[in-house]
A and B are shown apart, each in its own frame.
Chain A
Amino acid sequence: DIQMTQSPSSLSASVGDRVTITCRASQSIGSSLSWYQQKPGKAPELLIYTASSLQSGVPSRFSGSGSGTDFTLTISSLQPEDFAVYCCLQTYSLPYTFGQGTDLEIK
C-alpha cells in the first residue's frame, strides 16, 4: 500500500497568513493527488484534484503543486472560514490512501 505522510499534523495561524501543508507519498503517484477540507461534523469537500487543478467553486487562494512523491497545498491568505482539517488522498493505486490530516487552528 502507498503511505501518505502529511505534515504538519497541526498548525496555528492567523487570518491573512500564508500557510503550506505537505503530503509525501511512499512511492511515485504521478499527479493522482487530491486535497480535501473537512469542518467538524461535516463531510470532506474537494479543493484540489490532479495535484494542482482547482475544483469549481473553490476560492483562488487555494492552490496545489507537486508531482511524483511530494505535494503541497497552499492557502495564500487565510480567511476565518478556512480553519478546518485538511487531508490529501492518493488515487494512483488501490487501496486508495489518505494522509492523516492537518488541523489548521486559529492562533
Chain B
Amino acid sequence: EVQLVESGGGLVQPGGSLRLSCAASGFTFSSYWMHWVRQAPGKGLVWVSRIESDGRTTYVDSVKGRFTISRDNAKSTVYLQMNSLRAEDTAVYYCARAGVGLSAFDIWGQGTMVTVSS
C-alpha cells in the first residue's frame, strides 16, 4: 500500500525547534518530489516547502531561513527541521507526494500537529 506517515509533532515554546518526519512506503521514494503543506486551525492549506528528487529545495517566504527540508532516500523519509518557531507556525503539517506528470499532490500523510505556545 502506498502511504505516507508523519511523526514528530508536539508542543514547543516560541523560539524552539522541532523536526518532523514523513516515512514513505509502497513506492520508489527516490523518484518523487516531496512537499510539506500546513493548515492552521480552522484555516486553509498553505504550501510550505518542496524537495526535488536530486535534493534541490524551495520554501515559502514565511519559513525561509527557519525551516529546512531534507530527504533520506535510503530510509524513504522526508524531514522538516523547524527552528525559531513562532505562534503563527501552529498548524497541522502534512507531507505530500507530487505525482509524476500530474502537477498535483496525489498521496498525503495523515498530518502531525505542531503547537507553538508558552
Interface size on A, residues (CB 8 A): 25
Secondary structure call for the B interface: strand
Q: Which of B44, B99, B108 interacts with A98 by CB under 8 Å?
A: B44
Q: Contact between A89 and B104 (Cβ–Cβ < 8 Å)?
A: yes
How large, as a class, is the contact surface on chain B? 20 to 34
- A-B contacts at CB below 8 angstroms, number: 64
Question: Judging by beta carbons under 8 Å apart, are A50 and B102 in contact?
Answer: yes
Query: Is B81 positioned at the interface, with any CB of A under 8 Å from its CB?
Result: no
Whether A32 is near chain B, meaning CB under 8 Å from some CB there, is yes
Interface centre among B102, B104, B110, by most A CB within 10 Å? B104
CA distance A95 to B59 in the complex (A): 7
B58 at the interface (CB under 8 A from A): yes
What are the interface flags for B78-118 relative to A under an 8 Å C-beta threshold, 1 for contact and 0 otherwise? 00000000000000001000110011111011110000000
Residue ID in chain A nearest B49 by CB atoms: A95
Task: Check: B46 CB closer than 8 A to any chain A CB.
Answer: yes
Residues of B near any A CB (own CB < 8 A): 35, 44-47, 50, 58-61, 94, 98-99, 102-106, 108-111
